[in-house]
Amino acid sequence: MSLVGGMLAHHLGSRLSLQLIAPLFATGFMCQAAASEAILLQFGRLVCGAAGGLACGPTAVRKPSEIEMHFAKWYARTMKGAILTSMQ
């Protein structure tokens, strides 16, 4: 699934591809939350797993240094070291 997600990110861009994958996560989580039977729970887990596999490709397109710079913009100066260290 991550190969399909990578191709999707290559053709559409990582942001748009993640926006297209997000409803799969939401559907899977709602199925798991509303599950009264095991089959619905398993279906929700399957959908979330597929969405997770698809999301691996678009998130791997960026370099780690770009991701660290993105997080560094949003966190307070005192938190930057802890956040960026935990990412590595």
Domain ranges across the chain: 2-62
Longest CA span, the chain: 47
CA count, 13 A, side-chain hemisphere, 9: 20
Q: Is the pLDDT of residue 75 over 90?
A: no
User: Alpha-carbon distance 29 to 41, whole Å?
Assistant: 9
- Least Cα distance to 2 among 44, 49, 47, 56 occurs for 56
pLDDT exceeds cutoff 50 at 87: no
Distance CA 19, CA 40 (A): 24
3 pLDDT band (50/70/90 cuts)? confident
**Is residue 57 pLDDT above 60, yes or no?**
yes
Q: How confident is the model at residue 69 (pLDDT cuts 50, 70, 90)?
A: low
Which whole number is the average pLDDT over 36-56? 92
Q: Does the structure show a pLDDT above 80 at 17?
A: yes
Residue 68 has pLDDT above 70, yes or no: no
List the end-to-end C-alpha distance of the chain, in Å, as a whole number: 25
